[in-house]
Structure 1
Amino acid sequence: MKYHSKTPEEWEKYDEEKEKKDYIKKMHKRRQKINNILIIFISILAISLIMISKYYFPRYNLGFSILLNGISFSIMSEDNYTYPDALNINVNMFNTKSKPEDMKLDSFRFKIYKITKSSSEVFYNFEYPKIIDYKLYPMESKKIFDLKNINPLSKIPNGKYIIETAFNYNGRKIRLKKEFNYIHSIKYNIYLEKGFYTENERAKLYIEPKNYSAEIKSINLIGDIEIYTKKRKLIKKIPINLGYVTLKPLEKKEYSIILPTIKKGTYELYFVSKELNQAVYIPFPVTDKVERKLKNVNLSVDTYLFYPINETFKGAFYINNLDFKKERFLEIEGYTIRLINIENNTIFFNYENKDKRRIYISEGGKTLINIILPEPPVKLSIPGNYKLIFTVFANENSLEKDLDLYVGISQ
């Protein structure tokens, strides 16, 4: 067996390489130790959070919505209601799974209580101790409880309220909770006389306070009109003092302000009332050119294509901007809305508006031209096929949109 010695240079190189390897091993061990400590720390933290959540947030009591075994349960309610709004509140279940679920619900309780400075008092209470059996199909939503149908409530006292519901689902306890406010207050609405203005015109702004409360209220109509650019730069601030006004419940009054001229641009206009801590916003478009040709726009209608017989007709009618890069400043000469019964070839409903009107439409946006509401009712009492025709007229051309509707007996 032969032995080979190393030169001093070789031994030096060997020692350097060994030192590097030892350093690398040492660093690796240190990192592994740090990783192990982190894993242990994260595990302890996770266990602690689970224990804390079980103590402070018991299972099935996690707020107004919960998902359990693929079934979602939730309280559906607005956060704020304003007098005289009806309380549109329901308890809902939804099957997120791809297979049906046999639902067994029992011991259902629902209550609303009011929060005061010193205590709380039950405002509404409902209990249904019987068992409810229901097969909830995939992606099906079903109301468990609907306050509006069971006991319509509106015009309730001002204040903060809590909704609580509890019931058993297949032997498991479900508890849900949600808060809402019912507000009695004066609120402002503002609007411009025209859809947009030109640079040489002084805009007319209307300020409309309305008393959304059950009591007579007085308010000092004082505040500031603030006009900002799109980049939130304040360019005008106009102090307003219209004096005191007294309003009966649901009464409103209208006041007008003439604004100074302003150069071309699309602005944000606010009326700020410090007394009521309110800021009401509307867009304020100003242009140097009025369009009178209906180009790169179309019409659309939101309505039902099928109506049960004797149902009330309703619909919303829009002009849409097909240009996603350019605002539109259109002036129309009027519009018509006609509903024709095809079998009888008779006009069932006819509305005609010949007022000249300015329409501002943002880039790629749409603007409401007319809305037909259930009041006054347009009752569809004759069954059959109908043609709905919406036409807008301008100085140089016109646009038309038609839809086929059917009125019949629902099965």
Structure 2
Amino acid sequence: MRYFSKSPEEWEKYDELRKKEKETKEKPKKRIIRWTFYIIIFLSLLTIVFIFIGRENSRLDLPYNVVIKGINVYLQAEEDYYYPNVLDIKVILQNTNNKETHIKIENFSFLIINKENAEIIYSFVFPDIVETTINPFQTILIFDLLREKEIKALNQGVYEARATFTINGQNINLNKSFKYNQDLFLDIQNKEMFYLSDEFPTVDILLINRTNQIFESELNGEFIITKRDVEIYSQSFSYGKMSIKPLSSTVLNFKIGYNLNPGTYYLVFNFDPLNQSYVTTINIVDSIEQDIEDLDLILYAISTANRGDQLIFEGLLRNSKKRERAFEISKIVFKLFHEDKLIYNYENTDIMRVYIPELGTSKVFDIANTKSIVLDRSGRYKIQFIVESHGNVFSKDHTFVVY
């Protein structure tokens, strides 16, 4: 018989060859799978070891956090404090065990020192013994600096908080460094989210004297516009001698005397006497868009809260197109109801420019910038939020419960 392709023997050899080729290709995959399996087992065992060490051994390797037999003790402090803010430092204990634990605290002491000259700023000693039983996963406050003394207006520098005591016979030493800042703060703020290409953009220079002395200095420097690391324009500026009292602020208006083509640019302000530089961005467009029906309204808000909590709410607009959007908002309405009764009403009809990058979002409202609202009543709340722009109305409701 004549075979038009291959004989049975040839096909058999061909199949064997293909099988060997397949096995050769599969070897690296099997090796990868095998090593991946080994790695997963190793990581699982390592996790168990760390959990065991964290619960049963003496401590985690953090100067402000210690774990002893499931009792987690930590010193809570900010990395930075700003004049004239009060130091808020706490020592907290948490029972991470799933059973009640008896604790005995002895010889508690707390210090704040200046790390530059070792000066003791504050000292607290409580030699008495304190014993208590804490429930599973319960957290208790061991020490609260705010309850003992109000410490503020420190000189600028680096400080260290130290807490030393014993728990169930085990020595505890906690420490954490922080910086207390006294300085002149500057911020560059755009007056609008975008500007037209035939406009001269203006920005505000905000200066806040967060020191205990009058700030007196010349304020001058250089202003630079860049795009993709290419310098587009630069100019010098000078506001003469400034005098700002402690905890006072001033706002300076800066007008860019240059028309920019559409795009996003970096604005760089170099303040020579302060030896500081500040950078912000600016968006330039050809025209204001009128057709914005396809925008989406997004609400960021709490779903539940406790009595006494502050209301958190933000309203954003989302752009689902692969191009930037630049338009104006003509009206914003925010209403808060408690058990269907209106308790707060906000309405703003000032024209507001909004710029949204492609496939991005832009915040158009934040209740924190309008009013501080404390949720002092239990029950059901409802928020009505409305945005009007170029004849379009975007509206959403949100409900939440306060316990």
**TM-score in terms of structure 1 length:** 0.73
**Counterpart amino acid of residue 224 in structure 1:** E
- Counterpart of 1:351 in structure 2 is 346
Give how far 1:151 is off: 2.9
The runs of 5 or more residues in structure 1 that have no matched partner are 1-57
Give how far 1:384 is off: 4.5
Q: Deviations over 1:255-276 (max 9, x none)?
A: 1111122222223323232432
Q: Aligned pair in 2 of structure 1 residues 375, 126: CA closer, same or farther (>3 Å)?
A: farther
1:318 touches 1:366 (CA, 8 Å); kept in 2? no
Are positions 1:64 and 2:64 aligned together?
yes
Could you say what secondary structure the match of 1:194 adopts?
A: coil
Give how far 1:279 is off: 2.7
Are positions 1:137 and 2:132 aligned together?
no
The structure 2 residue matched to 1:194, chosen from 192, 195, 200, is 192
1:321 touches 1:363 (CA, 8 Å); kept in 2? no
2:100 touches 2:133 (CA, 8 Å); kept in 1? no
- Counterpart of 1:87 in structure 2 is 87
Query: Higher mean Cα deviation, 322-331 or 125-134?
Result: 322-331
1:107 touches 1:131 (CA, 8 Å); kept in 2? no
Could you say what secondary structure the match of 1:148 adopts?
A: helix
1:95 touches 1:136 (CA, 8 Å); kept in 2? yes
- Counterpart of 2:294 in structure 1 is 295
The runs of 5 or more residues in structure 2 that have no matched partner are 1-57
- Counterpart of 1:38 in structure 2 is none
Are positions 1:221 and 2:219 aligned together?
yes
Q: Aligned pair in 2 of structure 1 residues 400, 247: CA closer, same or farther (>3 Å)?
A: same
Q: Aligned pair in 2 of structure 1 residues 321, 60: CA closer, same or farther (>3 Å)?
A: closer
In the TM superposition, 1:147-296 aligns within 5 A as 147-229=145-227, 231-259=228-256, 260-292=258-290, 293-296=292-295
Q: Aligned pair in 2 of structure 1 residues 171, 291: CA closer, same or farther (>3 Å)?
A: farther
- Counterpart of 1:44 in structure 2 is none
1:185 touches 1:211 (CA, 8 Å); kept in 2? yes
**Identity of aligned pairs, percent?**
26
The structure 1 residue matched to 2:355, chosen from 350, 357, 360, is 360
Moved over 6 A (4+): 58-61
The structure 2 residue matched to 1:317, chosen from 299, 309, 314, is 314
Q: Aligned pair in 2 of structure 1 residues 326, 338: CA closer, same or farther (>3 Å)?
A: same
**Counterpart amino acid of residue 106 in structure 1:** E
2:319 touches 2:325 (CA, 8 Å); kept in 1? no
- Counterpart of 1:75 in structure 2 is 75
Q: Aligned pair in 2 of structure 1 residues 396, 184: CA closer, same or farther (>3 Å)?
A: same
In the aligned structure 2, how far is the partner of 1:324 from the partner of 1:100?
56
In the aligned structure 2, how far is the partner of 1:218 from the partner of 1:166?
43
Q: Deviations over 1:364-394 (max 9, x none)?
A: 5543333334996656666643321111111
Could you say what secondary structure the match of 1:254 adopts?
A: strand
Query: Higher mean Cα deviation, 180-189 or 272-281?
Result: 272-281
2:378 touches 2:401 (CA, 8 Å); kept in 1? yes
Give how far 1:245 is off: 0.8
2:319 touches 2:356 (CA, 8 Å); kept in 1? no
In the aligned structure 1, how far is the partner of 2:214 from the partner of 2:78?
26
1:294 touches 1:394 (CA, 8 Å); kept in 2? no
In the aligned structure 1, how far is the partner of 2:83 from the partner of 2:306?
32
Are positions 1:339 and 2:345 aligned together?
no
Could you say what secondary structure the match of 1:358 adopts?
A: strand
Give how far 1:101 is off: 4.8
Give how far 1:210 is off: 1.3
In the aligned structure 2, how far is the partner of 1:150 from the partner of 1:372?
34
Give how far 1:246 is off: 0.4
In the aligned structure 2, how far is the partner of 1:268 from the partner of 1:405?
41
In the aligned structure 1, how far is the partner of 2:238 from the partner of 2:265?
23
Instruction: Please tell me whether Structure 1 or Structure 2 has the larger radius of gyration of its CA atoms.
Output: 1
**Counterpart amino acid of residue 135 in structure 1:** I
